[in-house]
Structure 1
Amino acid sequence: MTTASETDVDVIIVGAGLSGVGAAHHVRKALPGGRLAVLEARERIGGTWDLFRYPGVRCDSDMQSLSYRFNQWTRSDSIVSGATIRDYIEQTAVADGTDEQIRFSHRVTRVEFDTATTTWTVTARHHDQTVVLTSRFLYLCTGYYSYEAGHTPDIPGLDDFDGPVVHPQQWPDDLDHTGKRVVVIGSGATAITLVPALTEKAEHVVMLQRSPTYVMAFPRHDDLAEKIARRIGARRSAVLTRWKNVLIDTVLYQMCQRWPRYMRSVIRKENAAQLPADFDLEKHFTPKYDPWDQRMCLAPDGDIFSVLADGTASIVTDTIERVSAHAVETRSGDTIDADIVVTATGLQMLAFGGIGIAVDGREVAPSDTLSYKGMMLSGVPNLVFTIGYTNASWTLKADLVGEHFGRMLAHMRTHGHDQFVPVRPDSVDERPLLDCEANYIVRSIDTFPRAGSRSPWQLGMSYYHDVITLRHRRVADPAMRFTGPEDRRRAGARDRADAVR
């Protein structure tokens, strides 16, 4: 498809986290002997799972569905630590040989495509040097939030607090919370994770939330998977367990969408069974929104309920009036004594890692583009990106994107093409790319690509639908324009003839 004299490599992947390592596998499979470079801003493999190091860090998704389809998780542990996830990603990269293609401490700052030469020029910073590489294809695996800092709202008096104020995204290695009174501000997945973990050493932990979140218990260990593995072997069991978990997640999500009142009562009963009879469930665990309008939080073995029940942690649902030197004061007049304040107040979204994008000298604002199949941008040639599901494991979508890109490369090789570009239709209604009401998404979604009101311009949230669309349906469709050298030669000839006339 290309020669060494034309570009430095065939494909540049940006990011060596869960998506990037998976993308590298699919690229290597689709281009045997092809030249690949993975540019990673950090100094280790892992992405999110190298960045977050706060106590108890884990994923809300089970490992059976979070693992790669080509390297499935064969253990019966379902919910594992962030460090275990990072190790799994690294082990996958080493087994694949991807680790040898990664260039660490390479922060990509700008990418420019030239249509005449079908070439991406990628500029990165490596320590104090500027590095420039060229490739035919660009594969962005940057996630959708800023690695530099999380979101911290304006909290009155926070600067007056005498103790440490910590955001989970920048958790200090030397922070000792032994015997301390800790206030965790927030109610999302990070807060639900932190509170039980901090109680192991802290004197007491308070989760201070402005509004509640839906939380459901989930087993850390899949006993059924272990039983099946003893009968048919770990690898075949992993396949069945993966599909079982995907099915459970899909059914749960669909039930929440179709029968929200019923599912609200189911969740409420499940929570009540794990908490004291006098616990104010309505106030602390019953959100105003319907289940799965925002992402559901999972509590491994119900750990958040256990620490609330035994008194090592407590929960306060109120608005912060101000923070003083040694306490947090609420609008209702309560004073919560604190030695450490943790602002588990969410992520700061960032489209494509803040990388500047240009095509033929024209700057491309992601918000001016439409997302094609949730993996490409209208008007931007030879670029693929990964954004996973908000209602299921991220890797399920990442794997499908990698497979589909591989199919596109095969199609182009067969037909003599070297360039693809999604072409935006004349009329299509625009939608937010992520249809989720989580605060961190709502705050910044307007800076991201838009979705369309009809296929293939929608970012679907159904794994089963995407399996059919991305793995099995034809690659070519009216919205995708493939071209090769001969096509451009004929187009150039027509343009010259028109100029003469």
Structure 2
Amino acid sequence: MGSIARPASESFDVMIIGAGLSGINSAYRIQTELPDYSYTVLESRDAIGGTWDLFRYPGIRSDSDLHTFGFPWRPWSEHKAIAAGEAIRNYIRESAEEFGIDKKIRFGNKMVSADWSTEEQNWNMLVDSNGEEKVFKARFVIFSTGYYDYNEPLKTTIPGIENFEGTRIHPQFWPEDLDYTDKKIVIVGSGATAVTLLPVLAQTAKHVTMLQRSPTYILSRPSVDPVGTFIRKVLPSWLASRIVRYKFLVLPFLFFKFCSAYPEAARRLIHKSVKAELPPTMSIDPDFNPRYNPWEQRLCVCPDGDFYQALRSGNADVVTDTIARVTATGIETQGGKVIDADIIITATGLKMQLAGGASISLNGTPLSLPSTFAWNSTMLSGIPNAAIIIGYTNASWTLGADAAAKLLIRLLKYMRKNDFSSAMPSVGDEGMQKQSLMNLNSTYVEKAKGDLPSAGDRSPWLPRSNYFVDYWGAAHGDLTGGMEFTSADAVGKKIN
């Protein structure tokens, strides 16, 4: 494949791909700290919000608190810390509008391919712009496209699913006109999506069953933080927001560390909490006793215990078993259960994908993302002037996204100060040992291991640690280790 030869329509210092949380945050950091840089945001869809605009299944909400999931530069002001999808969608849109970022977004523009030209010290990007091919140039590109495929869910084998004569749905593509009133529903899966769906569907459905191969940890948390509410009453809003944010930064971090250091104690603590929430007819075993330790997979959250309220209401239950086959009218399990269903919801996970599926090349030679190592979990070895924004799996995604954005700002300022036109991470001959970039053993992460870049076993290639360490590194850490810079003079180019 040769380099893109079409003339570019426009050139930018920075191009951001994706207008979700990460993209809007990156845009804010660029325009605030590098106001003389030209930038634009390409968004393949027709709205701001990314995941929060795409997903419209009933009850969609955050499973992280919005005080840390929201932007640090525009504090979340609602009382509900666990917020519904519509509120999050509005928050992202209003944030972009307040700071003029929405004026920089080009909707209906999907990046098809990106080719780095060493001669030009530029990215040449082929874009499907509302059905028309366009080519843009950019000196630096930030892929804020999330970590999964918007167009295709994770494929899973469900024996006999083709036999089912009722309605089959994947939450990623929820039909707006679906009426599930008085229907018998089976949700296949046990992750955050299933835990979110069950209590909402159970309000009007005849019966809802969550059918899981193995249990997950499901923690109740108040949707409104009483301590935060008190703080807001007695302190000025600017100070109250800061204190509440630090509270939500510190306490979950300490709980995660507790779970990691004392897994058996954490398991007992969670079991005690769950047992108090379950109806008398249900026990911890087998439905709420995961095989793994807390935080080896992401913990699920149910605001105000709505999941357990649905179980206590009597028209929702949990079955832990494997599917023997799907029939015309329901599901038969290996354990001999027959579960009737009018609707089957396959909440079986997301198909992971980076860079929005665009093909990336270097001087016309295709690059393989899975063969790369992630430099500070932000840039990839052998790829100049490009970042892939990856957040946390054990904390709010936005925290990691913002740490990455602040690191990139420092890097761009360093390049400008030293008259460098490009920066490319390079592993060299260090005999790097691979580690998972995402520190979870969830099914969708395990299945994607061969499709993702790797972390390494030493700095600056280590996976994300925690927000406090990563934020310090973004603000003060070494920018030169594992990085090769190209002087602008050497190629006759200059980064402004």
| TM-score, normalised with respect to structure 1 | 0.94
Report the 3-state secondary structure (helix = DSSP H, G, I; strand = E; otherwise coil) of the residue aligned with 2:135: strand
Structure 2 CA distance for aligned equivalents of residues 171 and 7 of structure 1: 37
Structure 2 CA distance for aligned equivalents of residues 45 and 334 of structure 1: 44
- Counterpart AA for 1:447: D
Structure 1 CA distance for aligned equivalents of residues 101 and 477 of structure 2: 29
**Residue aligning to 1:257:** 260
Does residue 445 of structure 1 match 2:433? Answer: no
**Residue aligning to 1:418:** 421
Does residue 458 of structure 1 match 2:470? Answer: no
Check the 8 A contact 1:7/1:119 in 2, yes or no.
no
Select between 329-338 and 6-15 the one with higher mean Cα deviation. Answer: 6-15
Structure 2 CA distance for aligned equivalents of residues 445 and 205 of structure 1: 33
Does residue 53 of structure 1 match 2:56? Answer: yes
| TM-score, normalised with respect to structure 2 | 0.95
Structure 2 CA distance for aligned equivalents of residues 430 and 43 of structure 1: 38
Runs of 4+ in 1 over 6 A off after TM superposition: none
**Residue aligning to 2:5:** none
Q: CA deviation at 1:328?
A: 1.1
Superimposed CA distance per residue, residues 242-286 of structure 1 (whole angstroms, 9 cap, x where no aligned partner)? 111111111111111111111100000000011123412110010
Query: Identity across aligned pairs (percent)?
Result: 38
Unaligned runs of 5+ in 1: 491-501
Structure 2 CA distance for aligned equivalents of residues 473 and 351 of structure 1: 26
Report the 3-state secondary structure (helix = DSSP H, G, I; strand = E; otherwise coil) of the residue aligned with 2:277: coil
- Counterpart AA for 1:70: W
Check the 8 A contact 2:14/2:40 in 1, yes or no.
yes
Superimposed CA distance per residue, residues 315-345 of structure 1 (whole angstroms, 9 cap, x where no aligned partner)? 1111111111112111111111111111111
**Residue aligning to 2:318:** 315
- Counterpart AA for 1:58: R
Q: CA deviation at 1:7?
A: 6.2
**Residue aligning to 2:369:** 366
Counterpart selection for 1:275 from 273, 278, 283: 278
Report the 3-state secondary structure (helix = DSSP H, G, I; strand = E; otherwise coil) of the residue aligned with 2:186: strand
**Residue aligning to 1:493:** none
Q: CA deviation at 1:231?
A: 1.4
Select between 322-331 and 163-172 the one with higher mean Cα deviation. Answer: 322-331
Q: 1:489 to 1:96 in 2, by over 3 A?
A: closer
Q: CA deviation at 1:6?
A: 11
Check the 8 A contact 2:125/2:136 in 1, yes or no.
yes
Superimposed CA distance per residue, residues 97-120 of structure 1 (whole angstroms, 9 cap, x where no aligned partner)? 111111111111100111121110
Q: CA deviation at 1:10?
A: 1.1
**Residue aligning to 2:111:** 108
Structure 2 CA distance for aligned equivalents of residues 131 and 438 of structure 1: 39
Q: CA deviation at 1:75?
A: 2.4
Structure 2 CA distance for aligned equivalents of residues 485 and 157 of structure 1: 61
Structure 2 CA distance for aligned equivalents of residues 409 and 30 of structure 1: 10
Q: Aligned runs of 1:54-453 on 2, under 5 Å?
A: 54-427=57-430, 428-453=432-457
Report the 3-state secondary structure (helix = DSSP H, G, I; strand = E; otherwise coil) of the residue aligned with 1:224: helix
Q: CA deviation at 1:370?
A: 0.8
**Residue aligning to 1:35:** 38
Superimposed CA distance per residue, residues 133-158 of structure 1 (whole angstroms, 9 cap, x where no aligned partner)? 00111010011110002124111221
Report the 3-state secondary structure (helix = DSSP H, G, I; strand = E; otherwise coil) of the residue aligned with 1:321: strand
Unaligned runs of 5+ in 2: 1-7
Structure 2 CA distance for aligned equivalents of residues 45 and 293 of structure 1: 32
Check the 8 A contact 1:181/1:338 in 2, yes or no.
yes
Select between 229-238 and 41-50 the one with higher mean Cα deviation. Answer: 229-238
Q: CA deviation at 1:14?
A: 0.4
Q: 1:200 to 1:152 in 2, by over 3 A?
A: farther
Check the 8 A contact 1:110/1:124 in 2, yes or no.
yes
Structure 2 CA distance for aligned equivalents of residues 277 and 177 of structure 1: 28
Structure 2 CA distance for aligned equivalents of residues 377 and 262 of structure 1: 38
Q: CA deviation at 1:488?
A: 4.5
Check the 8 A contact 1:152/1:343 in 2, yes or no.
no
Check the 8 A contact 1:432/1:446 in 2, yes or no.
no
Check the 8 A contact 2:9/2:134 in 1, yes or no.
no
- Counterpart AA for 1:443: K
Structure 2 CA distance for aligned equivalents of residues 388 and 297 of structure 1: 17
**Residue aligning to 2:487:** 484
Report the 3-state secondary structure (helix = DSSP H, G, I; strand = E; otherwise coil) of the residue aligned with 2:325: strand
Q: CA deviation at 1:472?
A: 2.4
Structure 2 CA distance for aligned equivalents of residues 87 and 175 of structure 1: 24
Check the 8 A contact 1:76/1:223 in 2, yes or no.
no
